[in-house]
Structure 1
Amino acid sequence: MMEIRLIAADLDGTLLNEAGEVSELTQRVLLRAQRDGIRIVWATGRDLPHFATVREALHTDIFAQNFYIALNGALIVNCGIGAEQRTDGFAADNVDPFLQIADAYDLEALSYTRNGCFRYAQPGFEQLRFEYLKEHSLAIKDNVEHLFGGNIELPTPCYPSAAGTVQKVAYLHSSLRLQQLLPELRTKLPAGSKALMVTPCWLKIVPEWLNKGAALTKVMRECGIRPEEAAAFGNGENDLGMLKSVTHGYAMGSKNSPGEIPVRKTPQRPARSAF
């Protein structure tokens, strides 16, 4: 088997456990890998601040061979020289249709820019959601994902064009509601966009040209690493491109629940407990 020179790992649900922490075993394994000169590419659909836990637990910034992939591939950071490569997302003038879809289907929408996050939910949304969860006997805390603090509230489904490019849009509700709507939502989305179920309660809308796989391929070409020399780990639909971009792709978990990728069999599979 060819030597592995690069490991790419998603964060939430893969590298990080349910508590958002790095386990002791994962810490030992990846610290040793970094000391041995293996490149680690940390990948997330969120922005750079979400790497804080990884930076603290795995000392990622002191290893020059590492890279960060953020915003689902829109941002690549070379840890060695601190250089950033950015790819534009949705133009400001094209964001309103996504908010109007959220308004029509009683969903909460988050629009992420380089400088903040804009939130839109129709008047009375919280009560409508509560009634839906109660009607379907769903636990509120287990079926809603919020990002508290820092969000700029929009009174109408109109994005302020002066705020600039939007890297991604997220639709939030209960897992049942999003699964019911997913097929129809995919037919309603504007051209050039795609929907990815990141978690059962979190539907992410990104430009078709943006994905972790394309970003990882760019990193590998820059570093002279072939797909057979790389391994990737992920657990969400937005990790599929990353797993396919390498020879050794591993999906975490044993159940194909909404948002998970069926496990792909590859030779010499490492112990799942390592991640």
Structure 2
Amino acid sequence: MTVKMIVTDMDGTFLNDQHSYNHHLFKKVLRQMQKYDVKFALASGSSFPRLAREFKGFEEQLDFISQNGSVIHEGTQLADYTPIDPQDINYILHEVTKAFPAEHISELIVAGIDTAYVDQSMSPASLAETKIFYENVTVVNDLTKVTQLFPDEHFTKIAICFAPEVSPTQFKRILDGILPDNLLMEVSGFNTELIGQAGATKANALIKLLDRDGINPEHVVTFGDNENDLGMLTMTRQSYAMKNAAPLIQMQAANITDFDNNHDGVLKQINQLLKEMR
């Protein structure tokens, strides 16, 4: 088996439920990947500044797919991004705030390449949660006017986190009726939907990295646990759904990890794969 690149989702996959990972094991595994010239990429729904924080000291050695594929960094250098038209941002914000009572939405976020924007009405608890995933957060007086307040920003994603009492079936049905054809909605865990350009997916961002390096998808190992990971899981023969992933995700991956995200499932699986390459 030949492995030239390994790509993993973050939350619920590489990271444990406390949003951390085994740093000692990661350093050991990364050294082994570099020994065998295996590239390592992180693919997440959250922002690049958050990912850079999580891998501080290793940023230049990794590739980063952030915001569900809307933004790509090679090390710390911005390589590509897929913006949303400001008119689409305005339309979605207007329709979402009209369709859902304020108490049904715990977080409404409009993300640019490096900065996320939220409304001043967001609760302190929700703001603290947002900063875990987006790092750089700017609070504005009226989020529905964010495109006018920041006309030079390149907006790349809208994230909507629904309150626990709102059923996914309910909000998916409503959002499906709102979205124009050029935008795509994907579940990102935590009762959250990410909305971006239809082509801005983790799978398509991964294809760009593979084209850059001349790597065939059959030489790529992918890890994921949620709907927004399915594209890259199904495009690679050496794919792994997490042991903690939902049965639907496990059914569509080629393999299931031996351990879940709270027991270093990704790192232990990579370690085993590297041993098989010796």
> What TM-score range do you get, normalising by the shorter chain?
0.7 to 0.9
Q: Which residue of 246, 249, 252 corresponds with 1:264?
A: 252
Query: What does residue 242 of structure 1 align with?
Result: 232
CA distance, structure 1, for counterparts of residue 83 and residue 220 of structure 2: 27
Supply the AA of the counterpart residue of 1:73: G
Query: What does residue 77 of structure 1 align with?
Result: 73
Aligned length: 248
Structure 1 counterpart SS, 2:55:
helix
Supply the AA of the counterpart residue of 2:40: I
- Relative to the length of structure 1, the TM-score reads 0.78
Supply the AA of the counterpart residue of 2:252: R
Query: What does residue 187 of structure 1 align with?
Result: 177
Query: What does residue 37 of structure 2 align with?
Result: 37
- Alignment deviations for residues 139-160 of structure 1 (CA, whole Å, 9 cap, x no partner): xx8x998314733224363333
CA distance, structure 2, for counterparts of residue 90 and residue 255 of structure 1: 30
Query: What does residue 164 of structure 1 align with?
Result: 153
Distance 1:53 1:146, change over 3 A: closer
Whichever structure has more helix as a proportion of its residues is 2
Q: Which residue of 200, 206, 220 corresponds with 1:210?
A: 200
Supply the AA of the counterpart residue of 1:101: E
Distance 1:159 1:84, change over 3 A: closer
CA distance, structure 1, for counterparts of residue 52 and residue 143 of structure 2: 33
Q: How does 1:130-145 map to 2 (within 5 A)?
A: none
- Relative to the length of structure 2, the TM-score reads 0.77
CA distance, structure 1, for counterparts of residue 25 and residue 183 of structure 2: 38
CA distance, structure 2, for counterparts of residue 86 and residue 172 of structure 1: 26
- Structure 2 alignment gaps of length 5 or more: 267-278
Structure 2 counterpart SS, 1:187:
helix
Q: Which residue of 214, 220, 242 corresponds with 2:210?
A: 220
Structure 2 counterpart SS, 1:200:
coil
Tell me how large the CA RMSD over aligned residues is: 2.9
Structure 2 counterpart SS, 1:151:
strand
- Structure 1 alignment gaps of length 5 or more: 127-140
Distance 1:75 1:156, change over 3 A: closer
Query: What does residue 132 of structure 1 align with?
Result: none
Pick which of 175-184 and 35-44 moved more.
175-184
Q: Which residue of 58, 75, 84 corresponds with 1:60?
A: 58
Supply the AA of the counterpart residue of 1:197: V
Identity %: 20
Query: What does residue 130 of structure 2 align with?
Result: 147
Pick which of 235-244 and 225-234 moved more.
235-244
8 A Cα contact 2:222 2:233, kept in partner: yes
Pick which of 4-13 and 112-121 moved more.
112-121
- Alignment deviations for residues 143-185 of structure 1 (CA, whole Å, 9 cap, x no partner): 9983147332243633333143310001122234151221221
CA distance, structure 2, for counterparts of residue 32 and residue 248 of structure 1: 19
Distance 1:156 1:110, change over 3 A: closer
Supply the AA of the counterpart residue of 1:147: T
Deviation at 1:19, TM superposition (A): 1.3
